[in-house]
Structure 1
Amino acid sequence: MNLTVARLTVRGLLGRRRGILLLVAPVLLLVVSLIAKNSDADQQALATDILGRLSLGTLVPLLGLVIGTGVIATEIDDGSIVYLLAKPLPRWKIITTKLAVAIGVTWLFAAVPSLLAGQIMVGTQDNLALAFTVGTLVAGAVYSAVFLLLGVVSRNAVVIGLAYALVWESLVGNFVDGARTLSIQQWGRSVAHTIATDGAITAPVALGVAVPLLIVVSLAATALATVKLAGLTLSYDE
């Protein structure tokens, strides 16, 4: 990890009021959790629904998309990436540094609010808050890797990412059981399922399938992003 690249990436990601915009969704989650806390509905069922759909199902992929593509796609689009690539830095170090920043910022704006929302609604009951927080952490890391890769390989990274998150995961995944096996959201939910007690969280994907996929996809996305970035260097040299 290169601290200079990390510092510049954080500045570019959170500067120019972007940090304030990233706060909108987490604040909305906390507001909804406060409203839910004061409702007469079953708190456990309500918390499971809110944390599963609004947090893990919506907040994490959208923030992962904005942050994961934002750490590098803007630099590629405006051409400023050439100044970074001109430095004597291994391409893998650039990618892993930007990925570390993306994961850290995603965790800050998604996992922390998820934990707080869960604590507000149900406290430590059935480990729901902890379970969804851990699910958010693992899913957020993989989303960051995949969307970072999209930011390197395509100028339409945001559109492709939205199609995956909203169409594949949210729409197709709700009607086609097999599609859930290729859903990062469901992999995170599988991890959450193992932490929650008394079957409070259901998971259509077995943990033995989810964990290897989480690892393989994140590593493959990181490796491929490194290769593509190296190819980008060659294209500029030409």
Structure 2
Amino acid sequence: MYDPTVARLTYRALLGRRRALILMVLPALLLLIATLVRVFDASSDDVATQLLSGFALATLVPLIGVIAGTGAIGPEIDDGSIVYLLSKPLKRSTIICTKLFVAIGVTLLFSALPVLLAGFILVGASQQIAVAFAIAAVVASIAYCALFLLLGTVSRNAVVIGLVYALVWEALFGSLVPGARTLSVQQWALALAEKVTGSGVDVSSAVSLPTAAVLLVVVTVGGTWFAVDRLRVLKLAGEE
């Protein structure tokens, strides 16, 4: 389910000079804000949770997921170079799973790790806030990558669709329309953060933890399965 050659090519595509610079902007901004808050002695548990939930989980993680998830396969499909990969004796599931693993690794590096560091900068080990949001960022990253990798296989406008979901659906509708929160990866991840921090911290999710866990698994497994199926269709279309 993992091919080193595919992984190397995917890492090279995702971590090219221009894309790597884009990936570093938001994590650097998060760490800068966290450092300034701590330097000016304005840090508290409430400030940390607001920054990590309102900026990190709501903006940083989904945007990094969009870049990594769609970038892992979308450009190859758009320019037709995916045909050369499909001509190799590789299972379609191996190609998708390898690209998903790479996308997740890149997303964790540029989102979950900075979230953990920002949490420790802000409040240290207080109330396990840093660890809780880092774990939330990990599970959200996995779901986002599976979802956006699937988008990369079905649409040439995957980046636009991903941005609409991340910035309009989750950030806008998710904050204004209660029912929309149920279909928000951010809220699913917050349910886990809420569990880890406990009742002493103002972290709350509109989705219960059992429901969030099921939805995270469904999106991750379902997105991966449909991406594999889509890749099989592309191959069949090329053969015809």
- Normalised to the residue count of structure 2, the TM-score between the two structures is 0.97
Deviation digits for residues 55-97 of structure 1 (CA, Å, limit 9, x no counterpart): 1110000000011000000001111100000001010000000
Match of 1:179 in 2: 180
Residue 142 (structure 2) aligns with: 141
Matched, 1:121 2:122: yes
Matched with 1:153 is 154
CA distance in 2: counterparts of 1:71 and 1:213, whole angstroms: 23
Count of aligned pairs:
238
Q: CA deviation at 1:12?
A: 1.2
1:12 aligns with 2:10: no
Q: Match for 1:225 among 202, 227, 234?
A: 227
- Within 5 Å, give how 1:62-211 maps onto structure 2: 62-200=63-201, 201-211=203-213
Which sits farther off after the overlay, 112-121 or 165-174? Answer: 165-174
Give the AA of the match of 1:36: V
Q: Residues 148 and 162 of structure 2 are in contact (CA less than 8 Å); yes or no, is this contact kept in structure 1?
A: yes
Task: Give unpaired runs (5+ residues) of structure 1.
Answer: none
Indicate the RMSD between aligned Cα atoms, in angstroms: 1.0
Map 1:41-56 → 2, pairs under 5 A: 41=42, 43-56=44-57
Confirm or deny: 8 A CA contact 2:37 2:43 kept in the other structure: no
Partner of 1:17, secondary structure, is helix
Q: Distance in 2 between matches of 1:19 and 1:162?
A: 18
Distance 2:227 2:209 in 1: 27
Letter in 2 for 1:49: Q
Which ranges of structure 2 fall in alignment gaps of 5 or more residues?
Answer: none
Task: In structure 1, give the amino acid aligned to 2:46.
Answer: A
User: How has the CA–CA distance of structure 1 residues 80 and 133 changed in structure 2, closer, same or farther, with 3 Å as cutoff?
Assistant: same
- Per the alignment, residue 23 of structure 1 pairs with 24
1:213 aligns with 2:205: no
Aligned equivalents of 1:34, 1:149: Cα separation in 2: 36
* Deviation for aligned residue 1:40: 4.6
| Alignment deviations for residues 104-124 of structure 1 (CA, whole Å, 9 cap, x no partner) | 100000000000000000000
Distance 1:17 1:124 in 2: 35
2:237 maps to what in 1? Answer: 235
Tell me if structure 2 keeps the 8 A contact 1:65–1:147. yes
Code of the aligned partner of 1:70:
G
Q: Is the 8 A contact 2:31 2:118 kept in 1?
A: yes
Residue type of the alignment partner of 1:212: V
State the AA in 1 paired with 2:98: T
Q: TM-score w.r.t. structure 1 length? A: 0.97
> CA shift at 1:37, angstroms?
1.0
Per-residue CA deviations over 1:92-145 (Å, capped at 9, x if unaligned) read: 000000000000100000000000000000000000000000000000000000
Q: Secondary structure at the match of 2:17?
A: coil
In structure 1, what residue type is equivalent to 2:81? Answer: S
Q: After TM superposition, give the deviation of residue 42 of structure 1 in Å.
A: 5.3
% identical equivalent positions: 53
